[in-house]
Structure 1
Amino acid sequence: MGLRAQVRTRDGWAVQHAVVTVTDMTGTQVLRAAADEDGAVRTEGSLDAGAYTVIVTAVGYAPAASTAMVTASGRVEAGTVVLSRQGGVELPPPGAWSLDPAHCSVAAVAQHLGISSVRGRFTEFSGRIEIAEDVQLSRVEAVIAASSIETGNSMRDKHLRSPDFLDAERFPEITYRSNGLTPTGPDRWLVHGELSMHGVVRPVDLDLSYLGTGPDPWGGVRAAFSATAELHREDFAMNYNQVVQAGIAAIGTTLRVELDIQAVQGETLPS
C-alpha cells in the first residue's frame, strides 16, 4: 500500500535521498517521503481514489512532476521517475564520437631524482568512443604515435624514443582498447582495457570522469572527459635506470597518465 516509486538519472543511477511529495488536486500535501540509497520510495498507508500530483526533488537535479491516479487499492504507483542533472551534465547521446587531438592532452608524469617530477606529452594520437544505449557496453579505442613524445628537452626526448624506453622505431604505435566499464559514481567509471606499448600488452584501468556535453562553434556536439591511470615501466619491459648517488634512481619506475579528452559526435571532425 502507499507510495511506490524509483528515482533514477537518465543513465540509470539511483538518486539517493530524493524527496517525493504527493499533493491532491487542491494542492494540499498528502504524503512526503525520501528515497533510500537505492533510489526506492516505499510508504505504508493508503490514499483516497482519485488524481494526485507527484513532485520529485533532489539537490543538484531539476525537479520533476507528474500526475498519478490512485485506484481503490489506495496505492500510488509512480513508477520510475527520471531526474535531469542541473547544468546539463547528462551522458553523451549513443553513437560514434571521435577524439579531437587539437583539444585533447595525453600526458605522463614521472618522478625525477626522487624530489621532483618530469612531465611529458604525446602530440600525435587518434581515438574513437562508441557510446552504447547501455553505457556499460560502451567502447573506446586509441592509437598514439610513440615518437611524438615531448618533455621540453630534446636530448631526453631522443632517449625516451630509444630502445631503452619506447623503442619507437620498432614499436611505432601505442594502442589502448577497452573491454568493459564499471560504474564508480554518477559521472565516474573504471574503464577496463588493454594497453599495448613497447611490444607488451597489459591490462590497464582508466579512472574516468565525465565532464559534460555541449554544442561547439562549428555546429557539432562535444563531450569532455578526464582520466588517469598508473603504469609501471617494468610491466612493459622498460627496465632502464640510471642510479645516482645514495641509490636514488634518476627516473622513477611509476608513471601517472593524465588524459584530458574532447570527443566530437560523429565519425569525422569539423574542418
Structure 2
Amino acid sequence: MANVRWLVDPTHSEVQFKVKHLMITTVTGYFKTFNVEVETEKEDDFTSASSIIFTANVDSIDTNNEQRDTHLKSADFFDAENHGEIRFVGNRYEKTGDDSAKLHGDLTIRGTTKPVTVNVEFGGIVVDPYGQTKAGFTVEGKINRKEFGLTWSAVTEAGSVVVSDEIKLHAEIQLVKQG
C-alpha cells in the first residue's frame, strides 16, 4: 500500500508563539504563512509517519505591531533576509496516551538546528461536509531562543529583562488527507 499524504488546511490552522515582555506580560505572535506535510504508512495511524515537515515563512511574522515585527525580522532576531524559513523535521511520533503524543524532531532557526520535542494532542479524524478526511492536532512546546542564535537582549534601567529567553510554541493544525 502506498503512503498516505496529508497537507495542512491553512484556513483551519494557526501557528503562534508567546514570549514574556519585561517579565510581566506575554506577547503573542503568529506566522501567517506556514506549511505542514505528513506522510503516513497507515491511513489513520500517525505513529507510522515516515515524513513530518513543518515550515514557516519568517517574513509572515505578525505580533500586531509593525515596528516590533520589523525588529523580529532583522538580524537582531530571525534575520529573515538570510534565513527566511523556520523548519521542523519530525523523526518520531511517539504515542503517550489515547490522544496524546510526543513529536521528536529537528528545529532549524537562523541556520542552527537542534533536537526539539513537542507535546501533541490528537483531536481525531473526521470527514467534513465536502467529503474530505481531516485530522486535527494541538501542538505545544518550549524552546530557548538563544540556543538558535536569537540572542538580542536589553535590560531596563531598573534591571528587568526586556524579552525572556523561553519561547512558548502553540499550534492548531488541521491536516487534509490527499486523494
Q: Measure, in 1, the Cα distance between the counterparts of 2:31 and 2:70.
A: 13
Q: Which has the higher strand share?
A: 2
Q: Over residues 145-181 of structure 1, what are the superposed CA-to-partner deviations in whole Å (9 max), with x where a residue is unaligned?
A: 0111000000000000000000001001111111112
How much is the aligned-residue C-alpha RMSD, in angstroms?
A: 1.4
Q: Residue 163 of structure 1 corresponds to which residue in structure 2?
A: 75
Q: Residue 97 of structure 1 corresponds to which residue in structure 2?
A: 6
What's the CA shift for 1:135? 4.2
1:10-89 mapped onto 2 (5 Å cutoff): none
Q: Residue 122 of structure 1 corresponds to which residue in structure 2?
A: 31
The runs of at least 4 aligned residues of structure 1 exceeding 3 Å deviation read: none
Q: Residue 136 of structure 1 corresponds to which residue in structure 2?
A: 47
What's the CA shift for 1:186? 1.2
Is 1:113 equivalent to 2:38 in the alignment?
no
What's the CA shift for 1:101? 1.2
Any idea what SS the aligned residue of 1:147 has? helix
Is 1:248 equivalent to 2:157 in the alignment?
no
Stretch deviating more after TM superposition (123-132 or 113-122): 123-132
Q: Measure, in 2, the Cα distance between the counterparts of 1:128 and 1:192.
A: 16
Q: Over residues 35-65 of structure 1, what are the superposed CA-to-partner deviations in whole Å (9 max), with x where a residue is unaligned?
A: xxxxxxxxxxxxxxxxxxxxxxxxxxxxxxx
1:199-218 mapped onto 2 (5 Å cutoff): 199-218=111-130
Residue 255 of structure 1 aligns with an amino acid whose one-letter code is I
Q: Measure, in 2, the Cα distance between the counterparts of 1:135 and 1:257.
A: 21
Q: Which has the higher contact order (CA 8 A, sep 6+)?
A: 2
Q: Measure, in 2, the Cα distance between the counterparts of 1:122 and 1:179.
A: 23
What's the CA shift for 1:215? 1.6
Any idea what SS the aligned residue of 1:246 has? coil
Q: Measure, in 1, the Cα distance between the counterparts of 2:126 and 2:46.
A: 18
Q: Residue 222 of structure 1 corresponds to which residue in structure 2?
A: 134
Any idea what SS the aligned residue of 2:91 has? strand
Q: Measure, in 1, the Cα distance between the counterparts of 2:85 and 2:70.
A: 16
Is 1:175 equivalent to 2:87 in the alignment?
yes
Residue 103 of structure 1 aligns with an amino acid whose one-letter code is H
| Structure number with larger C-alpha Rg | 1
Say how many residue pairs are matched.
Answer: 174
Any idea what SS the aligned residue of 2:54 has? strand
Any idea what SS the aligned residue of 1:132 has? strand
**TM-score, length basis structure 1:** 0.62
Q: Measure, in 2, the Cα distance between the counterparts of 1:178 and 1:216.
A: 27
Structure 1 spans left out of the alignment, 5+ residues: 1-93
What's the CA shift for 1:221? 1.1
